[in-house]
Amino acid sequence: MSASASEQDCVFCAITRGDIPSDRVYSDDQVVAFRDINPQAPAHLLVAPRRHVASIDQLRDDEALLGRVMSVAVRVAQAEDLAESGYRLATNHGRDGAQTVPHLHVHVLGGRALRGRLG
């Protein structure tokens, strides 16, 4: 099956394939986790499915993959030793959601006291 135009142009598809480098902390057959290139906190990682999905809005009915991504996000947060102090999981969809990379990813943020308000 040939890749769609969006997959060919997608930076996170390239990262999950290993075609462009990333600081990878976890990978399995469905999901990859890597450090954000522009961290907003001492720990800032991204968890993305290997399959190209534009955002969580397109994954509504795929509970298995949704669960997998969230489960890996928690695993990554724990591996970063964030469980005791706390962490935030966040995912953005679309323009008003401030999504900049149109391939689903969950941010794992921690290592400092995050502000209580979102946005």
Minimum CB separation of residue 56 from ligand AMP in Å reads: 10
Q: Is 62 in the site for ligand AMP (CB under 6 A)?
A: no
Please identify, using beta-carbon distances, which residue of 74 and 101 lies nearer to ligand AMP.
Answer: 101
Answer for which of 10, 16, 22, 73 binds ligand AMP (CB under 6 A) is 22
Q: Which of 74, 68, 17, 20 is nearest to 45 (CA)?
A: 74
107 is catalytic: no
Q: Is 98 in the site for ligand AMP (CB under 6 A)?
A: yes
Minimum CB separation of residue 107 from ligand AMP in Å reads: 6
Among 64-72, 78-86, 96-104, 111-119, the segment contacting ligand AMP (CB under 6 A): 96-104
DSSP string, the chain: -PPPHHHHH-HHHHHHHTSS---EEEE-SSEEEEE-SS-SSSEEEEEEESS--S-GGG-TT-HHHHHHHHHHHHHHHHHTT-TTT-EEEE---TTTTT--SSS--EEEEESS---SS--
Site of interaction with ligand AMP (CB under 6 A): 11, 22, 34, 36-38, 46, 92, 98-101
Show which residues are catalytic: 105
